[in-house]
Amino acid sequence: MSLERNGMNGTDERIGTRGLADRLRRVGQRVTPQRLVILGALRPGAHLSADEVFARVEPLLPGVNRSTVYRTLELFRDLGVVSMTDLGGGARQFELIDDLHHHLICHRCGAILELDDALVDPLRDGIRAHYGFAPAIDHLAIFGFCAACACATDAPERGANSGRR
């Protein structure tokens, strides 16, 4: 079975069937053709909705139903193999976890910037110290304004305020 069709594993970093099977075994899961194809539809750095994953999986597994894809994605999320995040727009996005990373999302222009996980460590530590709660922050989305939009938003206010005394 080839998971390379339809660009399912990206163009630069292809994850072979053996690597996907190893990931499933490491988290104590049976390796089935359905799980391999669903996991193969994802890749690090690519955020896909469950419907987009289903669209990639269906040509390779014509008998698969949408609920199987949804349940499997949620299982992978629970196992820490896949992250699930709302990057805006109300649709859950799934991504194969490679390294922990987070996103800064601009409300105005929609730009998405990556946030280094090292900056999230103090948040984890603070939550643990203050609440005794061990947070599992594997894929965080923070909404606000990028530098360009923040400047554009501030500029009219500065101009309006500069004439007042």
**How does pLDDT run across 108-147, given as a tens digit for each residue?**
888 888 888 899 999 999 999 999 999 888 778 888 999 9
Measured CA to CA, the distance from residue 35 to residue 76 in angstroms comes to 9
For residues 94 and 37, membership in a common domain is answered with yes
Question: What CATH number has the domain bearing residue 165?
Answer: 3.30.1490.190
Phi-psi region of 97 (alpha: psi -120 to 50; beta: other; left: phi over 0): beta
Q: What is the Cα–Cα distance from 13 to 145, expressed in whole angstroms? A: 31
- Three-state secondary structure readout of 96-155: ECCCCCEEEEECCCCCEEEECHHHCHHHHHHHHHHHCCCCCCCCCEEEECCHHHHHHHHH
Rounded CA-CA distance 63/155 in Å is 56
Q: What confidence tens digit (pLDDT) does each residue in 67-117 have?
A: 999 999 998 888 888 888 776 767 788 888 776 778 898 888 888 888 888
74, 98, 122 - which closes a domain = 98
Distance (Å, whole) CA 57 – CA 103: 27
Domain count, the chain: 2
Give me the domain span that covers residue 165. Answer: 99-165
**108 and 45 within one domain:** no
Closest C-alpha among 19, 15, 16 to residue 46? 15
Residues 81 and 106 in one domain: no
Query: 161 and 108, same structural domain?
Result: yes
Note whether 44 and 13 are within 8 A (CB): yes
Model confidence at 9: pLDDT above 50: no
Last residue within a domain, chosen from 42, 77, 98: 98
pLDDT tops 50 at residue 7: no
Q: Residue 61 maps to which CATH number? A: 1.10.10.10
**Residue that terminates a domain, selected from 64, 98, 132:** 98
